[in-house]
Amino acid sequence: MAEQLKEFANVALTGASFDSSGEYTVLTNNSTTQAVIKDINAAVTGVLAKTNVAVKQGISTVSSGGNSTGFELVPVSGVLKVKLDPIPNAGISSSLEVFNVRGSTTQNRDVFSAGTAPTYALKSTSSHIVTPSATATVTDAMAGQPVWYYKNNANTYVWYHNYDGNSTTQLKRADVNGNTTNGFSGIQSTAYQYAAIDPVQGYAYKQTGQQSVQRWNLETGATNSYSGAFTGITGVVNNSSYNHAAAVKGLFFCQASGAYTDRIQYFNPATSAKGRINGSFLASSNGALGVTFNPTENRWYILTKSGTNSTLSYVSGATLSGDYTATLVGTGKVSINSGCFFIGGTETGLFGWKDQTGKALIGKPTSTGVTVQTQFTFDYNIGGNAGPLLKSSAFNTVPAVDMDIGLNLKVSGVEITGV
């Protein structure tokens, strides 16, 4: 046998150095080699917590707690690793488009690329750092009280919903001509038919009768009618005063009348699933209904308002079918503008509303309330009774290479060969 002093590692590790299991391999012995480790020093840099560093031999943890010095025998065919345990959470990232009505002719489209909920800070060079960009556009005048506007993916149509808080419920559209629009034309104008919009799926919806729903394709302008959308739902009611609606993840949610604040009905055109959600909701002439889906919790959060008052509730289950009773989180969970007639929602668990000062806020609901996401900021006021329309992409996990992780590793000892 032969022995020699050896420095097995003297490296500066970053997030990219660790595999998907959070491990970095220091050494791997062959069938005739052993190693006697005399000194292990794992000095953390960046923002990595010391309690997340462990030294492992094979699958057994040797020590943990950050800087480590000690003796360890690594047998033939043995492996010595440094492990981040638990694996640091780099958070999730998605793009978010926010469409806002600023005035009768000026709209805003704000685009964010945002890393959210990270355990560790992101590098300044990370592509997942919030990088907002805003584009203000001018359209032909939008008459009445537009509460949301949306330009479609193909850049062929601009849509908006005009709502006076009660009976006036107009859906209008203009053709895009270069950087401008032609005049808006009325697509549908009937009383007590609030227009909900699902920009990810590319549809707008209205309850057009006690049992019926109509859907507009925002890309092509084509329509579909569902005469039995709410047929069979216990206590289904006709659309009337203070009709409100929301749409997300391909589902249409409708608060048919302000006289019934104990129920919200829903319809899924793709599966024909339908049902009633029982709960304690709000409705009024200055009310609104918002729904968002949180994929992490598999919960549908429902936000209703009347004036500056609000209620937050949720229903669990990724797929809805049949009747449910919503769990009430509480009242007053958001500080909302009394004149806000629209609450945006996403497939990724975010709400958007107009605050007391007139600016848009983006928040993430949980079983305890709504946390404002301060990375989304707006330096202008929203016009009239409008609210922010949110369009979010799917979540992606932020890779470790984007995290501000640093670990200076030195491992030395004796290598024994010819065992």
pLDDT digits (tens, 9 = 90+) for 188-218: 999 999 999 999 999 999 999 999 999 999 9
pLDDT at 160: 97
Give me the mean pLDDT over the 17-43 stretch: 86
Q: Are 352 and 371 in contact (CB under 8 A)?
A: no
Most confident of 358-362, 390-394, 400-404: 358-362
Q: Residue 80: is its pLDDT beyond 80?
A: yes
Query: In angstroms, rounded to a whole number, what is the distance separating the alpha carbons of residues 400 and 398?
Result: 7
Give me the mean pLDDT over the 230-247 stretch: 96
pLDDT in tens, 2-18: 889 999 999 998 877 88
Structure tokens at 134: 């805003």
pLDDT at 372: 95
C-alpha distances (whole Å) from 314 to each of 34, 45, 235, 271, 297 are 58, 41, 21, 22, 11
Q: Are 41 and 413 in contact (CB under 8 A)?
A: no
Structure tokens at 322: 């049949």
Q: Are 229 and 180 in contact (CB under 8 A)?
A: no
Rounded to the nearest 5 percent, the helix, strand and coil shares of the chain are 0, 50, 45
Structure tokens at 29: 């012995």
Centre a 10 Å sphere on the Cβ of residue 253 and count the other Cβ atoms it contains: 23
pLDDT at 248: 98
Nearest to 167, CA basis, from 195, 188, 192: 192
DSSP state of 395: P
Q: Residue 336: is its pLDDT beyond 80?
A: yes
Q: Where are the domains of the chain?
A: 2-87+403-417, 92-397
Give me the mean pLDDT over the 287-309 stretch: 96
Query: In angstroms, rounded to a whole number, what is the distance separating the alpha carbons of residues 297 and 318?
Result: 9
C-alpha distances (whole Å) from 346 to each of 75, 112, 113, 136, 312 are 54, 14, 15, 22, 15
Of the pLDDT bands very low, low, confident and very high (cuts 50, 70, 90), residue 51 is very low
Nearest to 115, CA basis, from 124, 104, 127, 125: 127
Query: In angstroms, rounded to a whole number, what is the distance separating the alpha carbons of residues 300 and 293?
Result: 5
Give me the mean pLDDT over the 324-340 stretch: 97
Q: Are 198 and 182 in contact (CB under 8 A)?
A: no
Give me the mean pLDDT over the 111-128 stretch: 71
Beta-ladder partners of 303: 290, 312
> Which CATH number is associated with domain 92-397?
2.120.10.30
Nearest to 139, CA basis, from 122, 155, 153: 155
Q: Residue 289: is its pLDDT beyond 50?
A: yes
Q: Residue 245: is its pLDDT beyond 80?
A: yes
| Tokens 């996990």 belong to residue | 397
| Tokens 């509730």 belong to residue | 313
Most confident of 97-101, 120-124, 412-416: 97-101
3-state class of 50 per DSSP? helix
Query: In angstroms, rounded to a whole number, what is the distance separating the alpha carbons of residues 182 and 250?
Result: 30
Question: ω before 86 within 30° of 0 (cis)?
Answer: yes
Nearest to 408, CA basis, from 40, 15, 30, 43: 43
Mean pLDDT of the chain: 89
Query: In angstroms, rounded to a whole number, what is the distance separating the alpha carbons of residues 229 and 275?
Result: 10
Give me the mean pLDDT over the 306-328 stretch: 97
> Which CATH number is associated with domain 2-87+403-417?
2.60.120
pLDDT at 172: 97
Centre a 10 Å sphere on the Cβ of residue 281 and count the other Cβ atoms it contains: 25
pLDDT at 331: 97
Give me the mean pLDDT over the 380-395 stretch: 94
Chain-centroid distance of CA 323 in Å reads 26
Structure tokens at 27: 């050494």
Give me the mean pLDDT over the 120-144 stretch: 80
pLDDT at 327: 98
Nearest to 116, CA basis, from 348, 408, 404: 348
pLDDT at 363: 96
Query: In angstroms, rounded to a whole number, what is the distance separating the alpha carbons of residues 243 and 367?
Result: 27
Give the predicted TM-score (pTM) of the model: 0.80
How would you label 219-241 residue by residue, b for 16+ Cβ within 10 Å and e otherwise? eeeeeeebeebbeebeebbebbe
More confident residue, 44 or 77: 77
C-alpha distances (whole Å) from 418 to each of 29, 57, 206 are 12, 21, 80
Sign, Cα dihedral of 342, 253, 166, 225? positive
pLDDT at 57: 72
Alpha helices of 95-252 — where are they, by DSSP H?
A: none
Q: Residue 129: is its pLDDT beyond 80?
A: no
Structure tokens at 202: 């590319």
Q: Residue 66: is its pLDDT beyond 90?
A: no
